């Protein structure tokens, strides 16, 4: 059985004159290949291997080992999982939504995103843009109507 956790195996051998460095790995047909490499490549791969090993150990230590309670099990029963069609439709709707936002005039898009995405109040946006609160609200309302029309067409 091939262990795919380690993508390659590093080897260092003592020769008569010098040290030799090798990297071994399995290809797509599960054939083992062993290639001689120079010291610079060996040391770079060794450092990467050390980082990967530390990250794997960190992940193993930080895995959540929670138990399933009656509450979480009953919640799972009543939550209907999404089908592939629903997931694809949601993704397409999000794409169309962001495309529609991109087609808005700059001022409307900026104000809409500041209000909904970044959570600024109408007063804060008006202060940033040196305009009235009413102008900001009107701009956001127009942007929302345009988005609704685009989404309805979709």
Please report the pLDDT score of residue 144 as a whole number: 93
pLDDT at residue 3 is higher than 50: no
Residues 6+ apart with CB under 8 A from 96: 150, 151, 154
Element (H, E) at 124: helix 122-129
pLDDT tens across 9-18, in order? 778 888 777 8
| Residues constituting the chain | 154
Whole-model pTM: value is 0.47
Q: Alpha helices of the chain — where are they, by DSSP H?
A: 39-61, 70-78, 84-103, 106-116, 122-129, 133-153
pLDDT digits over 95-125, tens only?
888 888 888 999 999 999 889 888 899 999 9
């Amino acid at each position: 059985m091939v262990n795919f956790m380690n993508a390659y195996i590093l080897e260092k051998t003592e020769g008569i004159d010098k040290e030799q460095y090798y990297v071994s790995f399995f290809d797509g047909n599960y054939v083992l290949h062993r290639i001689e490499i120079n010291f610079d490549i060996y040391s770079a791969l060794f450092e990467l291997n050390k980082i990967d090993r530390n990250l794997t150990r960190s992940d193993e230590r930080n895995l959540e080992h929670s138990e399933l309670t009656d509450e979480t099990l009953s919640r799972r029963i009543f939550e209907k999982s999404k089908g592939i069609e629903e997931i694809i439709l949601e993704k397409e709707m999000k794409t169309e939504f962001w495309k529609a936002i991109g087609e808005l005039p700059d001022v409307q898009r900026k104000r809409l995103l500041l209000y909904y995405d970044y959570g600024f109040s109408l007063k804060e946006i008006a202060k940033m843009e040196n305009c009235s609160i009413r102008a900001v609200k009107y701009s956001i309302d127009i942007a929302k109507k345009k988005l609704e029309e685009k989404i309805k067409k979709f």
